[in-house]
Every structure is written in structure tokens, then in C-alpha cells.
Amino acid sequence: DGGITQSPKYLFRKEGQNVTLSCEQNLNHDAMYWYRQDPGQGLRLIYYSQIVNDFQKGDIAEGYSVSREKKESFPLTVTSAQKNPTAFYLCASTRTRNSPLHFGNGTRLTVT
């Protein structure tokens, strides 16, 4: 079955530590995205990538970094510079930019 796999499902870190969230897709989609979801705020775009070795900042990129070395993989690093990192992080992909997004099942990050 094709889909998007995010791991781990839950992640706990101490303040000041960087942490990397994994996202892998086998849908053969070119474009991949990272969203952050907070209660009552909907989905906010962090970064997106339309092709390998290229990515662009979304609306809330500060404190985050990404890489896109392979078509299937788009890891997100939450750095210590992110002021409020506790959130639910969703990875998504699309075949084209006017196609609907397909989502993974998310990673819940808690930083204390």
C-alpha cells in the first residue's frame, strides 16, 4: 500500500535539544510538505519541497530546518531556536501543486 510514514508517533525532548522528525513516502510524489497543527489554529505550513535538493520556507519556518536528498524522504529538524516547539507535526505530499495533499499520521512532539 502506498502512503506516508512518519516516525516516531510520540517524541519527548528537553528544551535546548535539536530533534529530527522522519517522513518517508512511497507514492512517487514530487512535492512534500511539513505542517504544524496547534489546537484552534488549523494547519500552518513550515517548509515545502517540490523537487530533490530544493525546498522553500513556508509561513512559520523560523526555528526549523529540512533537507531533501531523496525523493522519498523529507526530514524536519526542530532546532533549539524554535520558541514553542510542542505541537503535532504533519508531513504531506502531492503529485502536483494543485492536487490535494496526502498526509501521514503525524508526530506529537513534547518539549519540556
Partner 1 sequence: QKEVEQDPGPLSVPEGAIVSLNCTYSNSAFQYFMWYRQYSRKGPELLMYTYSSGNKEDGRFTAQVDKSSKYISLFIRDSQPSDSATYLCAMIGYTGGFKTIFGAGTRLFVKA
Segment contacting partner 1 by CB under 8 A, of 13-21, 60-68, 78-86, 100-108: 100-108
Enumerate residues 6+ apart whose C-beta is below 8 A from 103.
4, 90, 91, 92
Q: How many CA atoms lie within 13 A of 23 on its CB side?
A: 31
Q: Can you tell me which of 90, 93, 109, 111 binds partner 1, judged by CB under 8 A?
A: 90
Q: Can you tell me which of 53, 84, 98, 112 binds partner 1, judged by CB under 8 A?
A: 98
Neighbours of 74 (CB within 10 A): 28
Rounded CA separation 50/32 (Å): 7
How is residue 68 written as a grid cell? 531533501
Compare residues 13 and 102 and give the one whose CB is closer to partner 1: 102
Q: How far is the CB of 15 from partner 1 (least distance, A)?
A: 23
Rounded CA separation 101/82 (Å): 25
Rounded CA separation 85/22 (Å): 16
Enumerate residues 7-66 that contact partner 1 by CB under 8 A: 40-43
Q: How far is the CB of 48 from partner 1 (least distance, A)?
A: 10
Question: By CB under 8 A, is residue 71 in contact with partner 1?
Answer: no
Q: Can you tell me which of 93, 106, 109, 111 binds partner 1, judged by CB under 8 A?
A: 106
The residues binding partner 1 (CB under 8 A) are 4, 6, 40-43, 88, 90, 92, 97-98, 100-106, 108
